[in-house]
Structure 1
């Protein structure tokens, strides 16, 4: 039996909360969460220990052969799309180098939620809190569109309802959820609101806070007295925290809701203290966007076909590009979980954690997982801290960064010029 190795204070890379208090037991390549992990973490750490070989159109091959075929595809491509982008900081740096070299376009699988927030921030600005501030300062929390657990399963335990905070042990904190399914945790007041009416409800709240007299139809958006009650609670709070997960809210034009919430925070800060906590999706979407921004000067959904960064937040969405046939090669990167690539009738290069079955089409390059198979770093949802993740088990699988660096080296080789 393999030797048992127990690690403490392990960072979990499987949601943007990046909890850093897990206990993990390793026996060879088998991992098990022994303390603190949520159900998502337990399933992800215990995932298959397989180390498959690369493949081309379903045929197993050497890594060198797969890299040569991938390099041929990219060399022949006029406009490749680098999508998925679930990788750590080093992996995204390698993606950037390859995209710039091939004139490719960048888009993350979690970009819809990311851009709902980014476009709001670019349009009107906002006040946001770090996780530490969100844990320690608020006396009133407004959850919009859900209780936050879909994006961050341990949000309430780690941030919103900690046993201790700087406000003092046992200090009261009221939590109200507007819309979404009722939260399962105790102590959350739920105010029903359909997802497609959230925008109107937040707009009505802003109106009340500004002293406007609203028509009866506006008050009818929520149960009787709820709108006035929420406005009073926000107005009277010493520190109000507004939490939302744009990617998990099932409504069109989520950027308008994020914009209204950003404006609500500005309204509240005119007379007191308030902050927002936008929750990001998984796959290190905040980290990949950070790398793109610091290396190119603009966020994701950027292309390099013209030799300079071309930021197109609407045009360069993966679904739109594939549906229109605008790109001719798909490089799908999924380094944390084996997320399937979108269906597309074009050459595909799949750089992913081990899949359940070898794909019948495309170049398949299996990679290890940051925080399990190799060390690296991922960014938290508040975007201010890069959390270090460790290698917890022996692995033959390379990191995304290693695979893409070898791929770029083949493209740069003198025999191709």
Structure 2
């Protein structure tokens, strides 16, 4: 079915500015819900696996599986969005995450680790969709405001993301009333949150931001007196370099962040901390991942991608040092380390996303964004899997220091790109 420009359809918003404001409101509502859905896998996924398997060496496997599921979903959401628009792509992604939550709950009841891993893999669809939504926020934004627009979508995740882990204790009580294992309680919340996010997008994300942006671009090309072919070629050339640099920034930040974050609840559990304490630390971490987004977006639009990408590497290094130096019994210092970890990730995600959005043409934007997010998810899966093995072989401080050192690879990459420009 051919998409009709919003200006020609009665009852729809025709002004891009009005449409952008409505779209951001709907995306913010869905992100608040989906933020709560993100919490379960991070907070108790590794603990569920540890209880079922009786070993710490595979505690990183849940994170690896949900990020692997995220990779597959990123491809699907990107392709659906490219063909049909953001609305169906995002709604299907969140609904799939809700199905994964139900699978994890079933696995916990049956004490079946194989089903647990399958459920976590499918649950990863919610993570991928939550990240893909940031692109929808930037589709209709003017070039000089794209970082701030995508940051508005990211920051909305904070409310649900911070609340979610801190619901671990009451969710466990709810789970016991429902006669399911205590640790599976957060997945009850995540399943409902993802399902509601899917419903909000399916009903109210209208007009579709990507489809409307294409209509506007086509109208501008038709009115332009110059040669559209020349402009398209230039956009394609710039897009190749933008994809490589933006992907590198986000891959490294995701790898380091997931590796350290995954093993922090296990590290705290081994030092006698409660699930509520782990939930508090992870909640602070998720808050730091998303809450600074408006400021980060302004910094990217004001000072450029390169400086904020470099700041990401330095902040992640500081996070690794603090995590390694923090005593195992200090909730405060571990929370500080995880806050820096989240902030460094935020710098990398916003600057990397802005690079790609600014340089990739609309004709291939959603598909390219999906493929980039696949590489990010693969990096997260690698970090999640390697983290458990490394901690079992060495220690949590060694993992944290290694992650911090790896993040420094961003600096020469940014410097080389800046030099060639």
Q: TM-score range by the shorter chain?
A: under 0.3
More helix by share: 2
Larger radius of gyration: 1
TM value normalised by structure 2:
0.24
| TM-score of the pair, normalised by structure 1 | 0.24
Which has the larger share of strand? 1
